[in-house]
Amino acid sequence: MLSFVVLLIALVTGIRLWLVILCSAALAGAVFAAVHHAETIAHRIGEPFGTLVLALAVTAIEAALILSMMVAGGEDMAVLPRDAIYSAVMLICTGVVGLCLLFGGLAHGEQTFRVEGAGAGLAALIAMATSALVLPAFTASSPGGSYNTPQLIFLAMTSTTLWAVFVFVQMVRHRDYFIPVVNAADTDTHAPPPTAKQAWASFGWLLLSLVVVVGLAKMLSPSIEQAVVAASAPKAVVGIAIAALVLLPETWAAIRAARANRLQTSMNLAIGSALACIGLTIPVVVLAALIFKLPLTLGLPPKEMALLAVTFLVSAVTLGTGRTYIMQGAVHVVLFADYLFLALVP
């Protein structure tokens, strides 16, 4: 509610220096509030539906941030969707997964999860990321790492289809591949779920939080661009900032689950969010680019392609057995550090 009040003040008075700071804090609060209410709904409906709600909430926030900045920035924001999606995938596959494996391994020694579900999700993620972020750099019909209109439409259709198939497998056909083994010592699992009234109230607050996030992001987008230019930082920092802001609450939820010896929930959150990030954000971005005739550059530079390829290769090895300990976590965290350092010092 406070974030909504701040948004109204910014709309009435216009953005000023003191309001930039206040709106930034309000935006972070709105993101945390959205994920909190999504978690409440998730606890009510149970796994694996709960992690799907969280993934959809995070993806809706990210898509809203990207769209608001694309429309406000015009041609200068042509690479923002690419940078934000790439950042989200790297943050999830290296940072979130690495911290979960590391903290979970420190707390419990060795942990397990259903490799059938994680493996299928990782395979879908590799295919979707290659189509969205790698192949545009090699197509001949449209220069500069971009797709032409038929290619964009095809990308949107295939991304949505693959994500929908994964959700069908996760929710219906092979739901048992994504259900965590209940740990008797896990107090979160046995905590009484919220009532239906509380869940519906959280749904309403979730919608309001998403509206506030969209509005505040649109108000702050010029200030973010100016701050990046003033700091002489690469433009990719904007995408990293968006992904980090959106994923921070979910990262905390995933780490908590890993420390509670519920690594399956952590994997569901991580892989599900990465898939939704591409499978849902890409169609929204493509639709906006076609309707508003916005430029859209998707192909990654060579260095980022190499990091993405190494990340997927390492993930296939470390998550391929369904048993993890701190070594796998350390490898992912080091890759995460490589990604951040090379993004800031290209």
CATH at residue 90: 1.20.1420.30
Q: How many domains does the chain have?
A: 1
Lowest mean pLDDT among 24-38, 101-115, 217-231: 217-231
What percent of the chain has pLDDT above 90?
30
Tokens 């942990």 found at: 111
Predicted pLDDT at 135:
94
Coil, strand, or helix at residue 183?
coil
* Distance in angstroms (rounded) separating the CA atoms of residues 169 and 180: 16
Which pLDDT belongs to residue 185?
A: 45
**Is the model more confident about 299 or about 180?**
299
Q: Any idea which of 27-31, 280-284, 285-289, 323-327 has the lowest mean pLDDT? A: 27-31
Residue 159's SS3 state is helix
Written as one letter, the residue type at 102 is: L
Task: Please determine, for residue 225, whether its predicted confidence score (pLDDT) is greater than 80.
Answer: no
Bigger pLDDT: 291 vs 250: 291
Cα(37)–Cα(202) distance, integer angstroms: 5
Where is mean pLDDT largest: 34-48, 288-302, 305-319?
305-319
pLDDT: which is higher, 205 or 104: 104
Strand partners, 323: 112
Element (H, E) at 111: strand 111-112
Return left, alpha or beta for 194; rule: phi > 0 is left, psi -120 to 50 is alpha, else beta: beta
Residue 222 pLDDT: 67
Of 43-47, 92-96, 267-271, the least confident: 43-47
User: In degrees rounded to 5, what are phi and psi of residue 323?
Assistant: -130, 130
For the ranges 96-105, 113-122, 263-272, the maximum mean pLDDT occurs at: 96-105
pLDDT at 69 over 80: no
- Tell me what pLDDT residue 274 has: 87
Residue 186 has pLDDT above 60, yes or no: no
Taking the C-alpha atoms of 111, 117, 118 and 119 in order, what is their torsion angle to the nearest 10 degrees?
120
- Average pLDDT estimate for 334-341: 94
What was the pLDDT predicted at 187?
A: 45
Output the CA angle 235-236-238, nearest 5 degrees: 75
Q: pTM of this prediction?
A: 0.81
Q: Is the pLDDT of residue 252 over 90?
A: no
What is the rounded average pLDDT of the residues 212-217?
A: 72
Domain extent, residue 257, equals: 2-344
* pLDDT in the model for residue 148: 92
Q: Say what the pLDDT of residue 184 is.
A: 43
| The predicted structure's pLDDT at residue 7 | 67
Size of the chain, expressed as the number of residues it contains: 346
pLDDT at 10 (0 to 100) = 66
Evaluate if residue 134 carries a pLDDT over 70. yes
Higher pLDDT, 26 or 94: 94
